[in-house]
Amino acid sequence: MDVFERLARVTRKQNEEGELPDFVVPLLMRVAENPGDFAGREDLVETLVERVTEFEIYSNVCCEKIGFSLEDINSTLDLLRVGY
């Protein structure tokens, strides 16, 4: 399974079983479903996989950051030039 397939799988899982918001799913799937558009930037896609996998809706609430926030995911999408 390549990084794009892993991104699609973890995005669906975190959206269905976790707390990943619906509105960010199309952006993540745009990356996952268009590997040719992101060729050569697999390292950033791998970062997205990690951030989506460890997404925590309350990551910035306490004094110690736990997991990754939506802001972390959006900053990586920005680096890939994928926006709303």
Return the domain boundaries, the chain: 3-79
Distance of CA 13 to the CA centre of its chain: 12
Closest CA to 1 of 36, 38, 49, 52: 49
Sign of CA dihedral 64, 60, 31, 41: negative
pTM: 0.90
Per-residue pLDDT of the chain (84 residues; tens, 9 = 90+): 899 999 999 999 999 998 999 999 999 999 999 999 999 999 999 999 999 999 988 766 666 667 899 999 999 999 999 987
